[in-house]
A and B are shown apart, each in its own frame.
Chain A
């Protein structure tokens, strides 16, 4: 899962990036509106945290431009202005949620998870695929009730596949959604992590679809 933080306050930006990274996201950051707009326009983010009071280009018009360019990623607005008129304006500009400063990081993360789940069509905080179960709130993975220990990269990969289970996910898509923008991308590493996950998770849940990518599905699922 990739997240973008657009916030001009360096301390808050750092905190947001740290908290999202801990929650299993590959996080990019921007400190002004123009940089933020460019990143949101070019990279496939799964969630964007957007401050409204930004230098160079304000958050609302940035959001409107993304939506006009048909960018549908979930956006959570973060702002000091917490009047309902401000909230309504933010929601009408195309935001998916609205959080007023000061806020608790836990609440932000809960809303981020909810938006990511909703965008991939999951209503509950726990995503299941047969005996495999992912608790998005605690970042715990269990198979038949047995907890499976994963490294953060393994978790990112599995979480993405779980969010999009039943669908074929290409290697390119995985690379794009699992690594930060400036990461040295090599699709071979994906194969390495897929191999590790297959060894840790019993059953043959992660299928290889030749020439297309991978699909997470129960054994009796038809391709």
Chain B
């Protein structure tokens, strides 16, 4: 997940919210619970205090007696943490009573610490008892006898602080564990949500790259309504782009073709005249003609992008070419022998294979004595992966042929080996360029029939 990504943004915001809300909620729940625990504990101590308080007087009601069983066995066990203590406030050496658990120890006094009493006249504090025990201490002041002569006694009940603390701590641990699990679950859920939610964007991405590679004409996947308009807009953009490119290409073609007639006029006019000026005009006109052919070819090759999926059957292309060429060269009586499996298919534009075969057959017919051979070898229909299926087209004639040296020179744009035969010198180089644009090749060698043999290697289907 990269920093600058939608997934990261969605994930981080969700994570930040979880990080704030979960601990806050945990803190609130914990503090509410622990307050409740301490209040309950205080109420219990208050209850015990009131039991001890009610039982300190002897049978006269004015003298200190011995409080009985307060209903809590822990007051009997020494240093159990539960203690009570009754002491006279005004005379330190006066009679005192304590629980068995306290023995000779003395409890801390909230009254002595000047702590203010609550609504029920009980004073509270956390203090330290025997054996350094931390205690919750409650104290009430009880007067025995009348207002004047009666003595004031301090009644103290204490319980160990350890107990509510342990309860609260245990709760805290459980709560933290539960919240941690919830947090982890939320993070995992968010991750899943982000991935699942953003999946349609991946569909768009995949479709777009298919369009760019020429495997598709537009975005086609079914998308959620939120990004469907995006898909429609992209499709509209692709289409308008295609239209602009098509229009530009058509204009280039129209311009090029429109220039050819005036160029023919200039060429012919210059050919008539034998002056150096006319020769200059003629050579420049030839340059212009070559440029026009070059850019027409480029415009056509640019059109190949986006036509990757095109498939052309070979026989329907070969037969009309054969017919036309045998008619053009009928004075010579040129016969074109075609050997081509009916299933042979070229993976590419019809116009391109037509151009390659037309130029090569025309060339062969022009130079032949009377025989031209076209042999197509197509791969078996199955067995090989589509990318490696190749088509081999071999075109031979029984003419004079070329020397090895001539064969390396030919194919250069505009080069004509024999100026006496008509032609522009562009034919073979166009074929070579076209074959290359299909990741194929054109090779020249000598034919057993005597003339030139041209072999094309092209993608098949």
Contact = CB atoms under 8 A, between A and B. Distances in A.
Interface of A: 9, 11-12, 15, 19, 80-81, 83-85, 87-88, 91-92, 96-98, 100-107, 110, 114, 117-118, 123
A123 B320 contact: no
Nearest to A85: B354
Contacts of A104: 267-268, 271, 422
Contact of B267 (A98, A102, A114): A102
Interface in B265-289: 265-269, 271-272, 285, 289
Contacts of B272: 105
B197 to A, nearest CB: 51
A158 to B, nearest CB: 23
B264 A101 contact: yes
Contact of A105 (B271, B285, B320): B271
A102 B260 contact: yes
Contact of B358 (A84, A97, A103, A110): A84
B330 interface: yes
Contacts of A88: 320-321, 323-324, 354, 358
B215 to A, nearest CB: 26
Given A88-B320, A102-B260, A11 B265 contact: yes
A123 B285 CA distance: 34
A84 to B, nearest CB: 3
A97 B330 CA distance: 10
B269 A15 contact: yes
B148 interface: no
A103 B266 CA distance: 10
Interface of B: 256-258, 260-269, 271-272, 285, 289, 320-321, 323-324, 327-328, 330-331, 350-351, 354-355, 357-359, 422
Contacts of A92: 320, 323-324
Contacts of A102: 260-261, 263-264, 266-267, 285, 289
B320 A106 contact: no
Contacts of A96: 327
A102 B355 CA distance: 19
B324 A118 contact: no
B409 to A, nearest CB: 23
Contact of A87 (B256, B263, B289, B324): B324
A207 to B, nearest CB: 29
Contact of B330 (A105, A107, A118): A118
A83 B430 CA distance: 12
Nearest to A103: B264
Contacts of B320: 88, 92
A206 B216 CA distance: 74
A5 to B, nearest CB: 13
B258 A80 contact: yes
A17 to B, nearest CB: 12
Nearest to B358: A84
Nearest to A117: B331
B271 A83 contact: no
Contacts of B267: 102-104
Contact of B268 (A15, A80, A97): A15
Given A11-B265, A12-B268, A98 B323 contact: no
Given A84-B354, A88-B321, A118-B331, A15 B257 contact: no
Nearest to B361: A84
A105 B263 contact: no
Contact of A97 (B265, B323, B328): B328
A102 B358 CA distance: 19
A103 B271 CA distance: 11
B423 to A, nearest CB: 9
B293 to A, nearest CB: 9
Nearest to B423: A107
Q: Please list the 4 inter-chain residue pairs (A to B) with the smallest Cβ-Cβ separation, ordered nearest first.
A: A84-B358, A91-B324, A80-B260, A102-B264
B263 A101 contact: yes
Given A9-B261, A88-B321, A91-B324, 7 more contacts: A9-B262, A81-B257, A84-B357, A87-B324, A88-B358, A100-B260, A103-B267
B271 A91 contact: no
B354 A123 contact: no
A15 B265 CA distance: 7
19 contacts: A12-B265, A12-B268, A15-B269, A80-B257, A80-B260, A81-B257, A85-B350, A87-B358, A88-B321, A88-B358, A91-B328, A92-B320, A96-B327, A98-B328, A102-B261, A102-B285, A104-B268, A105-B272, A117-B331
A211 to B, nearest CB: 36
B261 A80 contact: yes
Nearest to A87: B324
Contact of A83 (B268, B323, B354, B357): B354
Nearest to B253: A81
A11 B90 CA distance: 142
A96 B331 CA distance: 11
Contacts of A110: 422
A81 B390 CA distance: 31
A56 B258 CA distance: 18
A78 to B, nearest CB: 8
Contacts of A106: 271
A114 B331 contact: yes
A123 B269 CA distance: 31
A218 to B, nearest CB: 25
Given A96-B327, A105-B271, A114-B331, A12 B261 contact: yes
A104 B262 CA distance: 13
Contacts of B321: 84, 88
